């Protein structure tokens, strides 16, 4: 018996692998005990189930996405610090090759798919229905399913660290390295299934928000009156529904190779690994625009609000968003200029990739000229937006440099590339998501975050960023490749790497300041009683903070762009607030536990497939099917909020 136990501990719990695993195990056990204990002690189980796990309210789902994104930001960040610690000096033995490989794989996968994606879904959910005057998204039940598929996909992926082993072939997961012959462990299966499950949720989110934006707008909210964040969401979701299926297909085919023994991407029997690489980037490059367009949307809202000025060149902004949406499909091969395609192919993709720089540059100038002759208030959202511009200028320049194919032959897979995409994804996306979080935080929670701590966080994080990544451009010119777990002393890469590691730690400290800021603000709340703490422009700021669960007691009629600002200027804000006699009973979707259970069933099925435990997989899939059947048989999924209740709520908020 003890030998069997030891076998289990070594094979699945990996207790022979050293202290990182033990610490993680201990932390997980303590966290679980802490959460379960607190919920039991405070008698909050019922509250958790009724208010959160079963909710279909877009605002609560948005908040859950936000919490998940921040937790994953922490996990991905710890991964990054482990990597940078290992690289701080030549010949370091802090991590061995296998652990380093696993950690850079989980870092990349988590940051893109389980941090950036939920972060922007958080903002979609919280903001879009409020901006367009809707009471929820088009398909609230599906929205809950999307969240729980993301959540359980992320859980499955994260579980790999302490149960069975993490994937170790990079977040791009190129075959044949990821085929069974080279990578037999369960780690790669975890990657394939975790990403697959959350990817299904992402596609559903894309469909949901396109439907919401096209069909659920308040009367008078014409397309060209929509706030730019909503426009950017539309662009992003259009890319999602065209790009994510390519990812699903490529992951599914690779999964078949590994589980059933097909030869789509193997080296044998005519398998073609290049096909995976193409499919992966047919999703992978548009994915970059999926995450960056919403950030552009945030900047547009923030800049207009904090300069007290109309956004400059609105139609140009819409045009450039849509242009980027389209061009994003024609650039994927720039991820492998070095794969031996002809000069004609490379030239086409080089020029298309450079062309993306044109609408993007236009956006930057439009933001600048929105500030021009405005009155700039440097609040936290504005600070992150201003920090974004130099980042994006440098990242955009290096992007155009990378797009020039002959240059790319030298940059490809070097630290120059690493520095470039971190500059875009951190300086572009993370800055945008944080700006959005600070901007809409009062709308979500009804209080503002402490500015002083936030400014500390901003400066430490941003200075850390430059210290971390500028040296990496230079390391690229010195010939250092990505994904090397260590490097010899005589290459002379030591000093720049050391500087870079210091920068990474500063970014970590910056993140801790954000955590401190949130905790501090919870205890020293600056309540927002106005609903419009920033003196903002768009419709969501006409609502109280936090927003009642039905959003709008009476759906307003929209007469122009920046409707709330215009109403404030004319003194006609009462047209946008409800009057008692207009209030009618409101139909709202019912809560349901099934999305949660369905996510869990997917988790069970995925877990079964990871270890080829097919009985478990079948049980999980049966659970999924059962949830779908029960949903199909459901007649009553709505309830009515009576007029009196709406009136009571509104007058308690002082709006009647």
Partner 1 sequence: MSGQLWRRLRSVFLVAGTSILFATGCGSKYFVLHPAGPVAQKELHVIEWSAILTLIVIVPTLVLLAVIVWRYRDKPGNKARYTPEWSESKKLEFVWWGIPILIIAILGAYTGKVTFALTQPPQKDAKPITIYVTSLDWKWLFQYPGQKVATVNYVEIPTGVPVNFELTSDAPMNSFWVPSLGGQEYTMPGMATRLWLEADKGGTYYGHGANFTGKGFADMSFSVIATSQSQFNQWVSQVKAASPALTKATYQKLKQPSTVGKISYSSFPPNLFNDTIWAEGGQYMQNAMPSNSSTVATPTNGAMSGMAGMNQDQKDAK
**Residue placing its CB nearer to partner 1 in the complex, 47 or 372:** 372
DSSP string covering 293-347, please? Answer: HHHHHHHHHHHHHHHTSPPTTHHHHHHHHHHHHHHGGG-GGGGGGGG---HHHHH
**Residue placing its CB nearer to partner 1 in the complex, 327 or 646:** 327
> CB–CB of 337/407 below 8 Å?
no
**Residue placing its CB nearer to partner 1 in the complex, 323 or 588:** 323
332 contacts: CB under 8 Å, gap ≥ 6: 278, 281, 282, 284, 285, 286, 349
129 vs 147: CA distance, rounded Å: 17
CB of 389 to partner 1, least distance (A): 5
Place of tokens 């950017």: 232
CB of 101 to partner 1, least distance (A): 7
Identify the DSSP state of 414.
B
> CB–CB of 124/69 below 8 Å?
no
β partners of residue 292 = none
β partners of residue 527 = 447
CB of 43 to partner 1, least distance (A): 48
Identify the DSSP state of 90.
T
CB of 141 to partner 1, least distance (A): 40
> CB–CB of 191/109 below 8 Å?
yes
β partners of residue 586 = 641
CB of 182 to partner 1, least distance (A): 6
**Residue placing its CB nearer to partner 1 in the complex, 368 or 585:** 368
- Angle formed by the axes of helices 273-307 and 314-327, nearest 10°: 170
CB of 135 to partner 1, least distance (A): 31
CB of 325 to partner 1, least distance (A): 17
**Residue placing its CB nearer to partner 1 in the complex, 351 or 580:** 351
217 vs 51: CA distance, rounded Å: 27
Q: Can you tell me whether residue 526 is helix, strand or coil?
A: strand
**Residue placing its CB nearer to partner 1 in the complex, 130 or 405:** 405
**Residue placing its CB nearer to partner 1 in the complex, 216 or 400:** 400
CB of 178 to partner 1, least distance (A): 9
**Residue placing its CB nearer to partner 1 in the complex, 322 or 341:** 341
**Residue placing its CB nearer to partner 1 in the complex, 113 or 417:** 417
Sign of the alpha-carbon dihedral angle for 551, 553, 555, 561: negative
184 contacts: CB under 8 Å, gap ≥ 6: none
Identify the DSSP state of 481.
B
435 vs 441: CA distance, rounded Å: 10
- β pairing state of 526-527 and 586-589: unpaired
**Residue placing its CB nearer to partner 1 in the complex, 307 or 521:** 307
**Residue placing its CB nearer to partner 1 in the complex, 177 or 643:** 177
483 vs 395: CA distance, rounded Å: 21
CB of 316 to partner 1, least distance (A): 5
CB of 394 to partner 1, least distance (A): 7
CB of 233 to partner 1, least distance (A): 22
Residue 313 phi/psi, 5° resolution? 60, 55
105 vs 172: CA distance, rounded Å: 8
**Residue placing its CB nearer to partner 1 in the complex, 482 or 647:** 482
CB of 413 to partner 1, least distance (A): 4
> CB–CB of 331/285 below 8 Å?
yes
């Amino acid at each position: 018996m003890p030998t069997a136990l030891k076998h289990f501990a070594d094979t699945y719990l990996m207790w022979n692998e050293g202290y990182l695993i033990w610490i993680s195990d201990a932390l997980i056990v303590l966290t679980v005990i802490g959460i379960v204990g607190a919920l039991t002690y405070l008698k909050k189980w019922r509250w958790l189930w009724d208010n959160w796990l079963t909710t279909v309210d877009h605002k609560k789902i948005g908040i859950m996405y936000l919490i998940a994104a921040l937790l994953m930001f922490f996990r991905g960040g710890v991964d990054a610090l482990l990597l940078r610690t290992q690289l701080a000096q030549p010949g370091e033995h802090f991590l061995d090759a296998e652990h380093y490989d696993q950690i850079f794989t989980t870092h990349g996968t988590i940051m893109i798919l389980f941090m950036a994606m939920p972060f922007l879904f958080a903002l979609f959910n919280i903001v879009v229905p409020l901006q367009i005057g809707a009471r929820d998204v088009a398909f609230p039940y599906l929205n809950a399913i999307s969240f729980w598929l993301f959540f359980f996909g992320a859980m499955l992926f994260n579980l790999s660290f302490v149960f069975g082993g993490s994937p170790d072939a990079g977040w791009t997961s190129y075959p044949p390295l990821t085929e069974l012959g080279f990578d037999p462990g369960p780690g790669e299966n975890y990657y394939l299934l975790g990403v697959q499950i959350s990817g299904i949720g992402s596609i559903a989110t894309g469909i949901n928000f396109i439907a919401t934006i096209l069909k659920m707008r308040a009367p008078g909210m014409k397309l060209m009156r929509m706030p730019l964040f909503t426009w950017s969401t539309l662009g992003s979701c259009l890319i999602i529904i065209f790009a994510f299926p390519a990812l699903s297909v490529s992951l599914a085919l690779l999964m078949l190779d590994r589980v059933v023994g097909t030869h789509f991407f193997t080296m044998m029997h005519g398998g073609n690994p290049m096909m995976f690489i193409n499919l992966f980037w047919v999703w992978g490059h548009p994915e970059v625009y999926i995450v960056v367009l919403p950030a552009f949307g945030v900047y547009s809202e923030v800049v207009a609000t904090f300069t007290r000025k109309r956004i400059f060149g609105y139609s140009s902004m819409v045009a450039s968003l849509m242009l980027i949406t389209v061009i994003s499909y024609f650039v994927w091969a720039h991820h492998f200029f070095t794969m031996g395609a002809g000069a004609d192919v490379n030239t086409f993709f080089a020029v298309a990739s450079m062309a993306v720089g044109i609408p993007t540059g236009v956006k930057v100038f439009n933001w600048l000229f929105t500030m021009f002759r405005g009155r700039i208030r440097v609040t936290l959202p504005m600070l992150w937006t201003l920090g974004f511009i130099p980042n994006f200028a440098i990242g955009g320049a290096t992007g155009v440099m990378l797009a020039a194919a002959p240059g790319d032959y030298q940059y490809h897979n070097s630290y120059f590339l690493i520095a470039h995409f971190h500059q875009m994804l951190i300086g572009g996306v993370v800055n945008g998501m944080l700006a959005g979080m600070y901007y809409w935080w009062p709308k979500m929670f009804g209080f503002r975050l402490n500015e002083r701590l936030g400014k500390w966080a901003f400066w430490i994080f941003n200075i850390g960023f430059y210290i971390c990544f500028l040296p990496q451009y230079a390391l690229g010119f010195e010939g250092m490749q990505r994904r090397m777990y260590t490097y010899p002393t005589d290459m002379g890469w030591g000093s720049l790497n050391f500087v870079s590691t210091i920068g990474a730690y500063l970014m970590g400290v910056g993140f801790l300041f954000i955590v401190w800021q949130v905790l501090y603000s919870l205890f020293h709340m600056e309540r927002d009683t106005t609903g419009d703490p920033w003196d903002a422009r768009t419709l969501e700021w006409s609502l109280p903070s936090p927003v009642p669960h039905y959003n709008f007691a009476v759906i307003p009629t929209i007469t122009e762009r920046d409707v709330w600002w215009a109403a404030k200027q004319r003194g006609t804000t009462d047209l946008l607030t409800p009057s008692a006699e207009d209030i009618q009973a409101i139909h709202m979707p019912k809560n349901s536990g099934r999305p949660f259970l369905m996510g869990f069933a997917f988790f069970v099925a995925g877990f079964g497939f990871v270890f080829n435990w097919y009985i478990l997989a079948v049980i999980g899939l049966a659970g999924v099917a059962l949830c779908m059947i029960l949903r199909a048989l459901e007649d009553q999924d709505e309830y009515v909020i009576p007029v009196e209740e709406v009136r009571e709520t509104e007058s308690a908020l002082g709006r009647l």
